[in-house]
Amino acid sequence: MSNARRAERPGVCHHSGAVVTIEDVRELALGLPRSYEALVRDRVKFRVGRIVYLAFSRDEAVMGFAFPKEERAGLVASEPEKFLMPGTSDLRYNWVEVRLGAIDQQEMRELVLDAWRMVVPKSVARDHLGD
């Protein structure tokens, strides 16, 4: 699902009861080409090269992810119980946050893949995911 399509679906909640954990995200992220895990100031982050595309709060309840700046206000407004604006210091980045307890496995997968797709060359994403 594209970021733009997700932002246009206000009020849609995919939560099915299966709690998403950092382990679920880790399993997916580490299977993506060029993706690796880093621990920075006691926070788990996933990178491609030097670019962070996923980062967790210290309590691992919130996941920040790469997302187009121009679309994030719409996303947060559409589901404020789920999505959060990034902290002031991160507003300059293509970044938004989500409460892991508010999403299901499928939505987590879409968010992670969309974030990863933003930071890898198009050819790498195409080779891994197809068209």
Question: What is the CATH number for 23?
Answer: 3.90.1150.30
Let me know if residue 96 belongs to a domain.
yes
| Angle (CA) 71 1 73, round 5° | 15
Q: What is this structure's pTM?
A: 0.85
Let me know if residue 79 belongs to a domain.
yes
Let me know if residue 31 belongs to a domain.
yes
Q: What is the pLDDT of residues 8-63, one digit of tens each?
A: 333 334 445 578 999 999 999 999 999 999 999 999 999 999 999 999 999 999 99
Q: What is the pLDDT of residues 67-114, one digit of tens each?
A: 999 999 999 999 999 999 999 999 999 999 999 999 999 999 999 999
Share of the chain above pLDDT 70, in %: 86
Let me know if residue 131 belongs to a domain.
no
Provide the domain limits for residue 91.
3-9+16-123
Let me know if residue 130 belongs to a domain.
no
Closest Cα to residue 96, out of 117, 128, 74, 113?
Answer: 74
Q: What is the pLDDT of residues 11-25, one digit of tens each?
A: 334 445 578 999 999
Whose tokens are 């962070």? That residue is 52
Let me know if residue 69 belongs to a domain.
yes
22-29 vs 105-119: helix crossing angle, rounded to 10: 40
The tally of domains found in the chain comes to: 1
Let me know if residue 64 belongs to a domain.
yes
